[in-house]
Amino acid sequence: MFVKDYVVNKFLFLLLMSLCSCALSFEEPSVSITFNGTVPSTVVSGELARIPVQMTYSALRFYKSWSVPAGSYLEFVAGSCPAIPYDEGSYWRGTCYMNIVIPGGRPGSVISGALSYGVYLKEGRFPNKHELSLTFFSPAFSVRVIPHSISMLTIPIQEATANTSFSYNLKSAVKFYDENAQAGYPPKVIVSQEKLDGLFFNPTTFCIEGKPTRTGTYKFSVGAVNSYGTAAFTDFKVQVRVNEKDKPVFKQNYPIPGASPGEKYSLNLMDLIEPQAGFMETNQISFRIDPNKSHPEWLLISKEHPTFLEGEVPVGEAGKEVDVTLIASSNTGGDCLRPLTIKIPVAIDPTKKPTINSFKLEKLAGANIYEELSGYISDPAHDPAIQLILEKVEPTATWLKMSSLHPTILEGTVPDQATGQKYLLTLRANTLIGGNSDPVTIPLNISVDKKQMPRFKSDKPILPILYPGQPYLYDFVENNDVYPEYHDAPYEIQFAEGFNPPDWLRLEQNQLIADMVPPEIVNEDLEIKIMIKNIPGGLSNEYILSLTIMN
């Protein structure tokens, strides 16, 4: 009797479980996607916009996938969420929190559409076979990428020569000018005094130009305006004097990149000028082609970028070498003493242009660089006269150059203060047969000196007590809390990434500052997380400092 009852009870239990399982497995999936909070309509170029998303679901199983509008992506925030972008797990009931992240890309572009979630399931057997495909949508959204608001940069005092042509392009003084122009809202420059003793504002070229008729200080006020706002006026001063030593000097034996028939040629003429510290800040250089020497009609000084030589190379120039004589002029020194005649080879067969393979370099401060880079070049023409051109270094490194005798060798001496710095080198290879390669950007890392990594002299520095209702200031530099000392290796103290300080406390110029400690905070301890950074030693470990607030 006992055995019989056991068998019957087990059978009923299994039958009940089977019925429950069937009831769940055939429940239709349900998804609700909503936005939490206000949906932004714009995002500033270079920044991120986030749309908070809440997803409530039930009976999810089999294959599921997310789809987002082009130019956006999903990120997980909290809750019980199906995997992004797809998964095949079972999720019976839950709530999930995510963000639609919209990076601010090209100004003027629009990211729009709706977030969708597709569910496809196939279960059961004939005749109870279920196959279902469902798609659930969020509300639609549209976010436009807008440029930053324009403002005027501080303009260094310019220098000029009396009775000599002067020109200063004010575009460079409008912060985010190019970004706003690309978005279709080019700023318009406003000058308070349009003419002054030979100098005047030319709205066609955006330049203050002319020939100053006296020495001394010229003062203008310049601002800008566009559809997105107005930039407040700033002073523009020109100190007019005579200075022979400021005449620009052309480099000798600088490798000139070749041209390709049927393509645009462009040469940055500033690369041909011997560098002088601070020269371009106070003394802009202009260029012109010597009209008394023969030159190809298709080569001109660019009107848009007046330090570039540009032109469309005729197909019939293939295999030739063209000559151009250049004159450089500075505002304070006038024309250069020796014009430069450059020879530009035009490629024979652009289909055989060389390529530069990716690589990276790493050096120590004080090291002498003499790096043969030809091994990174693929040249289908096998030209023995191949050369490498160092087009750009960011940030600027005047100590680095290509050898004038061996144009595939990078040479220079790394200064001590470059420790911990990362340079980006833009290189281009050139052959007479194939012409120019595409530019390649190569990283040059100057290794960090671990002995110079910034750190507190004490394992846990003790900071002064804070008092409610009073201001607070603690200067880490003045109190000599950090090694290496600030005068040996200037450092910057900042809050650790991910740490959010109270809104009444901030770090500025290595000072911990509170304009006013809130009166309601009494007898509490506040922990802050900070890090220290310098150039030779890089970033420190994270430090936790305690602040005591007493009555």
- The neighbour count for residue 280, using CB atoms within 10 Å, is 14
CATH architecture of 455-549: Sandwich (2.60)
Distance of CA 304 to the CA centre of its chain: 23
Distance, CA of 349 to CA of 418 (rounded, Å): 41
Query: Do residues 231 and 224 touch, judged by C-beta distance below 8 A?
Result: yes
β-pairing, 361-363 vs 86-87, is: unpaired
Looking at residue 226, its pLDDT comes to 92
pLDDT category at 10 given cuts 50, 70, 90 is low
Q: What is the sign of the dihedral through the CA atoms of 450, 365, 495 and 52?
A: negative
Give CA–CA dist 56/411, Å, rounded.
62
Whether 42 contacts 145, CB under 8 Å = yes
CATH 2.60.40.10 describes domain 151-241: yes
Over residues 210-245, the pLDDT tens digits come to 988 777 899 999 999 998 889 999 999 999 886 777
User: 4-8, 319-323, 356-360: which has the minimum mean pLDDT?
Assistant: 4-8
More confident residue, 39 or 122: 39
pLDDT score recorded for residue 529: 95
pLDDT tens figures, 40-59: 999 998 899 999 999 999 99
Q: Mean of the pLDDT values across residues 80-87?
A: 90
Residue recorded with tokens 């955006």: 206
pLDDT greater than 80 at residue 400: yes
Q: Could you check whether 29-146 and 455-549 share the same CATH topology? A: yes
Any idea of the CA torsion for 366, 489, 282, 204, to the nearest 10 degrees? Answer: 100
Span 426-440, average pLDDT: 90
Centroid of chain to Cα 143:
22
Question: What's the pLDDT tens digit per position in 124-139?
Answer: 666 667 788 999 999 9
pTM of the model: 0.44
Q: Are 362 and 278 in contact (CB under 8 A)?
A: no
Strand partners, 323: 343
pLDDT of amino acid 26: 60
Averaged pLDDT of the chain? 88
Report the percentage of the chain scoring pLDDT > 90.
Answer: 57
CATH 2.40.50.100: does it fit domain 29-146? no
Which tokens hold the place of 250?
Answer: 């052309």
Asked if the model's pLDDT at residue 7 lies above 60, the reply is no
Judged by average pLDDT, the poorest of 92-101, 160-169, 269-278, 373-382 is 269-278
Residue 20 pLDDT > 50, yes or no? no
Q: What is the mean pLDDT of residues 546-550?
A: 91
Q: Is the pLDDT of residue 273 over 60?
A: yes
Domain ranges of the chain: 29-146, 151-241, 249-346, 351-447, 455-549
307, pLDDT greater than 80? yes
Structure tokens at 481: 């809390």
Decide if 63 contacts 85 (C-beta within 8 A). no
Place of tokens 């500075």: 330
pLDDT of residue 283: 63
For 353-390, the three-class secondary structure string (H helix, E strand, C coil) is CCEECCCCEEECCCCEEEEECHHHEECCCCCCCCEEEE
How many Å apart are CA 492 and CA 151, to the nearest integer? Answer: 26
Nearest-angstrom CA–CA distance, 28 and 386: 68
CA dist., res. 529 & res. 499, Å (int): 6
Asked whether the bond before 484 is cis by omega within 30 degrees of 0, the reply is: yes
Residue 181 C-alpha from the chain's centroid? 18
384: CB partners within 8 A, 6+ apart: none
pLDDT at 284: 77
- CA angle 325/286/220 to nearest 5° reads 165
Q: Tell which wins on pLDDT, 210 or 551.
A: 210
Asked if residue 369 has pLDDT above 60, the reply is yes
3-state SS assignment for residue 296? coil
**Fold of the CATH domain 351-447:** Immunoglobulin-like (2.60.40)
CB 532 within 8 A of CB 510: no
* Residue 472 token pair: 């607070």
CATH superfamily of 249-346: Immunoglobulins (2.60.40.10)
Coil, helix or strand for 57?
A: strand
Q: Which residue has the higher pLDDT, 254 or 342?
A: 342
Nearest CA-CA partner of 259 in 291, 289, 298: 298
Please give the share of the chain, as a percent, with pLDDT higher than 70: 93
Q: What is the pLDDT averaged over residues 385-408?
A: 89
pLDDT, position 216: 85
- Of the candidates 79, 54, 214, the one whose C-alpha atom is nearest the C-alpha of residue 136 is 54
pLDDT band at 18 (very low <50, low <70, confident <90, very high): very low
pLDDT of residue 244: 78
* Strands ordered across the beta sheet of 30-35: 30-35, 48-60, 91-103, 73-79
Report the candidate in 249, 158, 171 with the shortest Cα–Cα distance to residue 212: 158
Mean pLDDT of 311-330: 93
**Cα pseudo-dihedral 430, 434, 436, 441, rounded to 10:** -80
